[in-house]
């Protein structure tokens, strides 16, 4: 079964809009795990507009599934994750002012940076994944930088899915196969939702994990968090409708 990691950034966005501690990010993470999520994802940004660095420290003692921390490898970010030691760090090539992740790494141009960063993370026993698009060369060269996994950037899939399901998923299936042949694990994330997730999981081989935040937290406003997590899990295990 493909694992579901819930990105709780949007919980923090709501909290920060009003100040105080409602909703409680730590409680939300605990509840997500209790409701069946197999991981918790956060993406602290330099301006701390949603997840704060202190949140990451507060979450570490309560995440008993898999803690996945995403981010651009600044020195501040690396100091944080090597202190916290999550199960996985997912490196993304976002500039500090990016609204959301919108591109994958160029593993040729950034080979030296990624190699050095990943070596540091591995020295602390942290599994690494890098955010990447479906270009087979970029994926094959990802193995050269020492990463354990890739995370496929799925916004192009989500955008094309309503009009051409097969065409939307085809490059991701090929990319996943290329990653597997290169000895890399395969994660995926960005704009996956209840409409497109099942088809993606059924048609992309070797898929280990999906990270979903915006759509899942939005659905929880309508369906409740516990029910929503179960709906997403059903998309991944092939049971239910």
Helix residue spans in 92-135 (DSSP H): 111-123
* Known active-site residue 177: no
Considering the candidates 33, 133, 151, 190, report the single residue annotated as catalytic: 190
Measured CA distances, 122 to 41, 119, 127 (Å): 19, 5, 7
What's the sign of the alpha-carbon dihedral 74, 78, 79, 80?
Answer: positive
Considering the candidates 43, 50, 133, 209, report the single residue annotated as catalytic: 43
Considering the candidates 66, 70, 133, 209, report the single residue annotated as catalytic: 70
Give yes or no for a contact between 85 and 67, defined as CB atoms under 8 angstroms apart.
no
Cα 212 versus chain centre, distance: 7
Burial class (CB within 10 angstroms; exposed 0-12, middle 13-18, buried 19+) of 24? middle
The DSSP string of 185-213 is: EEEEESS--TTTHHHHHHHSTTEEEEEE-
**Type and span of the H or E element at 12:** helix 9-18
How much is the CA Rg of the chain, to the nearest whole Å?
17
CA–CA distance, 95 with 191 (Å, rounded to integer): 20
The conformation of residue 77, written as its DSSP 8-state character, comes to: H
* Known active-site residue 43: yes
CA–CA distance, 200 with 207 (Å, rounded to integer): 9
* Known active-site residue 206: no
**Type and span of the H or E element at 84:** helix 75-84
Mind telling me the catalytic residues? 43, 70, 190
């Amino acid at each position: 079964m493909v694992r579901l990691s819930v990105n709780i950034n949007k919980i923090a966005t709501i909290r920060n809009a009003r100040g105080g501690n409602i909703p409680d990010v730590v409680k939300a993470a605990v509840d997500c795990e209790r409701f069946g999520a197999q991981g918790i994802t956060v993406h602290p940004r330099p301006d701390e507009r949603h997840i704060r660095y202190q949140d990451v420290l507060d979450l570490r003692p309560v995440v008993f599934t898999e803690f996945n921390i995403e981010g651009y490898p600044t020195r501040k970010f690396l100091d944080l994750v090597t202190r916290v030691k999550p199960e996985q760090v997912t490196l993304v090539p976002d500039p500090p002012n990016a609204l959301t992740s919108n591109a994958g790494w160029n593993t040729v141009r950034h080979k030296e940076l990624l190699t050095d960063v990943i070596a540091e993370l591995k020295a602390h026993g942290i599994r690494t994944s890098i955010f990447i698009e479906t270009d087979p060369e970029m994926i094959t060269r990802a193995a050269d930088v020492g990463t354990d996994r890739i995370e496929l950037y799925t916004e192009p899939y989500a955008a094309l899915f309503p009009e051409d399901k097969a065409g939307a998923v085809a490059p991701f299936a090929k990319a996943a196969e290329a990653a597997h042949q290169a000895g890399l694990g395969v994660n995926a994330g960005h704009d996956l939702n209840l409409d497109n997730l099942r088809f993606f999981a059924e048609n992309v081989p070797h898929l280990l994990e999906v990270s979903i935040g915006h759509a899942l937290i939005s659905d929880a406003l309508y369906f409740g968090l516990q029910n929503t997590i179960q709906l997403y899990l059903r998309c991944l295990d092939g049971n239910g409708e």
